[in-house]
Chains A and B, each alone.
Chain A
Amino acid sequence: MKCDDIRGKIYTWVYSDVHKLDDEQIQHITDCPNCKAYYQDCHRANRITTLLSQKKPTLENPQKLSSDILDSIDELEPKEIRVRFRLFNVSKRILAAASVCLIIVFGYEQYIITDKMIKLEEQMSAVKATTVNSSQLKEILRYYPSHGIESLKSTLASSLKDSQDKSFKSAVLLAGYSVLSHDDVKKLLHEYLAQAKSPSEDSSVVNKKEKE
């Protein structure tokens, strides 16, 4: 029997309770001084580490450690507040930038509307008090707020045959100024149309002669 094999068995036996040595192996350990010494050393080492694992080092002055830990936590607080403050500053800047962007976007849109209104007004003033022709109407519609053009066109097309030029002009002007919705324009037109009792001479042609 080789000593190396026996030592492998001794190691497994000492460090785990599962394996056992047979009679022949025990006899070898008894007879071989080196293997015997190896067994004793392994057994002692295992006993000492087992005993060490059962010892509980004592924490002296736990109150002091506890207080040190809490002090460290307190020292952390200002840093976290500073971080929060920095984050607040960053978010403030983001808000400011977003506000500027919104002002630019809505300001530009407002500028476009105002510009259109001015041009619409110019076109309207070019129209004679009670007369409007198709090209003038085209120009007026050109500057009419884009979101209402299609609906206004259809409303006007269906309503013009009964309208008076004056009413029509006023309705377009009013609608343009107030940037009203389709329903509001329609409502306004109907109000003006209600005032105009006499029917138009030609329903299909926008250009009309002034009534005498």
Chain B
Amino acid sequence: MQQDIVNIIEEVKAGNKTAFKYLVDEHQKYAFRVAFRVLCNEDDAKDVVQESFIKIWKNINNFNLKLKFTTWMYKIVINSAIDKLRSFRRINTVNIDMLSENLCHLERHGPDVQLENRELENIISHIAEGLPEKQKLVFILRDIQGLDSVEVEHLLEMPATSVKSNLYTARQSVRKRLSKLMACERRVV
């Protein structure tokens, strides 16, 4: 498998577009998931995937074949997503009723339940929106993307103490938001 990807990348390095198409087809879903979790928006995530693959095409000659391609691609996608997130201040409008329903749906059925992108967008946006940029990025990368603290420090070029304190504050904010949401829901019921 590793040899196959090496051969494909060699072809891409030689300018073979068919090989590049294969690379895109194989990895775009993963790239989309990474970008989506940072941006909480389907269209923005698609834009980031497109930008990232253009960067990959342009810089494929710099890729060291001894490394894992997905790791290299992940860094490109996550950095593009972070840049995009920093470039705009989008305020997502969240429908609270729908959000409560989505959250209940999520909690009752656990990890196996299939959520629509819009529902995921709704939940992540609600719990992460309004957080200061650093807190939001640390929270998304650490808790939603599932990276470890060292990877977050490296990606955001932040010291360990800063990652830890931003994560703590972000988690407290998320806890309060969810608590308020649940309190509203209980009052309604």
A76 to B168, CA, bound (A): 44
A57 within 8 Å of B (CB atoms): yes
- Pick the residue among B42, B111, B171, B174 that contacts A51 (CB under 8 A): B111
Q: B28 and A55: CB pair below 8 A?
A: no
B112 → chain A, closest Cβ, in Å? Answer: 9
A44 to B103, CA, bound (A): 10
Interface size class of A (residues with CB under 8 A): 20 to 34
Interface residues of B in 69-121 (CB under 8 A from A): 103, 106-107, 110-111, 115, 117, 120
A170 → chain B, closest Cβ, in Å? Answer: 67
Chain A residues contacting B143 (CB-CB under 8 Å) are 49-50, 53
Question: Per-residue CB proximity of A32-73 to B under 8 Å, as 1/0?
Answer: 000001000110110111111111111110100110111011
- Pick the residue among B28, B37, B42, B115 that contacts A62 (CB under 8 A): B28
Chain B residues contacting A51 (CB-CB under 8 Å) are 106-107, 110-111
B68 within 8 Å of A (CB atoms): no
Main secondary structure on B side of the interface with A: helix
A85 within 8 Å of B (CB atoms): no
B65 within 8 Å of A (CB atoms): no
A11 within 8 Å of B (CB atoms): yes
Q: A44 and B36: CB pair below 8 A?
A: no
Question: Per-residue CB proximity of B165-189 to A under 8 Å, as 1/0?
Answer: 0001001001110110010000000
Chain B residues contacting A44 (CB-CB under 8 Å) are 107, 175, 178-179, 182
Of the stretches B3-11, B19-27, B151-159, the one at the interface is B19-27
Q: Which residue of B lies closest to A61 (CB)?
A: B46
B33 within 8 Å of A (CB atoms): yes
A108 within 8 Å of B (CB atoms): no
Known: A57-B37, A69-B54, A73-B20. A48 touches B117 (CB 8 A): no
B106 → chain A, closest Cβ, in Å? Answer: 5
B146 within 8 Å of A (CB atoms): yes
Q: B127 and A55: CB pair below 8 A?
A: no
B144 within 8 Å of A (CB atoms): yes
A15 within 8 Å of B (CB atoms): yes
A52 to B140, CA, bound (A): 10
Q: A70 and B174: CB pair below 8 A?
A: no
- Pick the residue among B50, B120, B127, B179 that contacts A41 (CB under 8 A): B179
Q: B57 and A73: CB pair below 8 A?
A: yes
Q: B144 and A52: CB pair below 8 A?
A: yes
Chain B residues contacting A58 (CB-CB under 8 Å) are 117
Q: B29 and A62: CB pair below 8 A?
A: yes
Q: List 9 A-B contacts (CB under 8 A).
A: A11-B171, A41-B179, A44-B178, A51-B111, A53-B37, A59-B32, A59-B33, A60-B42, A73-B17
Other A-B pairs beyond A57-B37, A72-B54, A73-B17, 16, CB < 8 Å: A41-B176, A44-B107, A44-B178, A45-B127, A45-B175, A48-B127, A52-B124, A52-B144, A53-B144, A55-B111, A55-B115, A57-B45, A57-B120, A59-B29, A69-B28, A73-B20
